[in-house]
Amino acid sequence: MDKYSRVAEMLSAKGIKIFENEPLAPHSTFRIGGAARLAAMPDSTEMIIDAVKAAKEEELDFIVIGNGSNVLFSDKGFDGLVIFTRSADSVVIKGNRVFADAGAPFTKLAVTVKNAGLTGLEFAYGIPGSVGGAVYMNAGAYNGEASQVVASSTAYDDLTGEVRMISKEEHNFGYRTSVYSQNKDRLTVLSAEFELKEGDSAAIWETMQDLIRRRREKQPLEYPNAGSVFKRPQGYFVGKLITDAGLKGYTIGGAQVSEKHAGFIINRGGATAEDVLRLVEHIQNTVHEQFGVSLECEINFKGKR
98 with 67, same domain?
A: no
* Rounded Cα–Cα distance for residues 106 and 125 (Å): 7
Give the count of beta carbons closer than 10 Å to the beta carbon of residue 26.
9
CATH number at residue 65: 3.30.43.10
14 with 40, same domain?
A: yes
185 with 102, same domain?
A: yes
227 with 288, same domain?
A: yes
> Which of 65, 84, 103 finishes a domain?
84
* Rounded Cα–Cα distance for residues 160 and 236 (Å): 41
* Rounded Cα–Cα distance for residues 181 and 294 (Å): 20
CATH number at residue 226: 3.90.78.10
Q: What are phi and psi of 168, to 5 degrees?
A: -55, -45
- Would you say residue 21 lies in a domain? yes
DSSP at 22: E
228 with 243, same domain?
A: yes
For residue 224, give every residue at least 6 positions away whose Cβ sits within 8 Å of its Cβ, in sequence order, or none.
Answer: 29, 30, 31, 32, 266, 267, 271
- Would you say residue 208 lies in a domain? no
174 with 252, same domain?
A: no
105 with 187, same domain?
A: yes
- Would you say residue 214 lies in a domain? no
> Which of 151, 176, 203 finishes a domain?
203
Listed residue (107, 142, 130, 112) closest to 215, CA to CA: 142
Cβ(56)–Cβ(188) below 8 Å: no
Give the count of beta carbons closer than 10 Å to the beta carbon of residue 136.
27
- Would you say residue 215 lies in a domain? no
Global pTM value: 0.93
Predicted local distance difference test score (pLDDT) of residue 1: 83
Per-residue pLDDT tens, the chain, 305 aa: give them. 899 999 999 999 999 999 999 999 999 999 999 999 999 999 999 999 999 999 999 999 999 999 999 999 999 999 999 999 999 999 999 999 999 999 999 999 999 999 999 999 999 999 999 999 999 999 999 999 999 999 999 999 999 999 999 999 999 999 999 999 999 889 999 999 999 999 999 999 999 999 999 999 999 999 999 999 999 999 999 999 999 999 999 999 999 999 999 999 999 999 999 999 999 999 999 999 999 999 999 999 999 98
78 with 97, same domain?
A: no
Give the count of beta carbons closer than 10 Å to the beta carbon of residue 38.
27
35 with 51, same domain?
A: yes
User: For residue 163, which amino acid is it?
Assistant: V
- Would you say residue 47 lies in a domain? yes
Please count the structural domains in the chain.
3
157 with 56, same domain?
A: no
CATH number at residue 168: 3.30.465.10
Listed residue (108, 106, 189) closest to 153, CA to CA: 189
List 187's β-bridge partners, or say none: 157
- Would you say residue 211 lies in a domain? no
- Would you say residue 34 lies in a domain? yes
* Rounded Cα–Cα distance for residues 125 and 187 (Å): 26
With 0-12 / 13-18 / 19 or more C-beta atoms within 10 angstroms meaning exposed / middle / buried, residue 92 is exposed
98 with 196, same domain?
A: yes
Query: Distances in Å between the alpha carbon of 80 and those of 10, 28, 51, 64, 205?
Result: 15, 17, 12, 11, 42
- Would you say residue 210 lies in a domain? no
* Rounded Cα–Cα distance for residues 143 and 38 (Å): 39
Cβ(98)–Cβ(84) below 8 Å: no
> Which of 84, 113, 133 finishes a domain?
84
Indicate which residues carry an active-site annotation.
176, 228, 298
Cβ(256)–Cβ(244) below 8 Å: no
Cβ(257)–Cβ(248) below 8 Å: yes
100 with 191, same domain?
A: yes
Cβ(195)–Cβ(41) below 8 Å: no
For residue 96, give every residue at least 6 positions away whose Cβ sits within 8 Å of its Cβ, in sequence order, or none.
Answer: 118, 195, 196, 197, 198
* Rounded Cα–Cα distance for residues 171 and 147 (Å): 8
Element (DSSP H or E) covering residue 257: strand 255-257
Domain extent, residue 277, equals 220-302
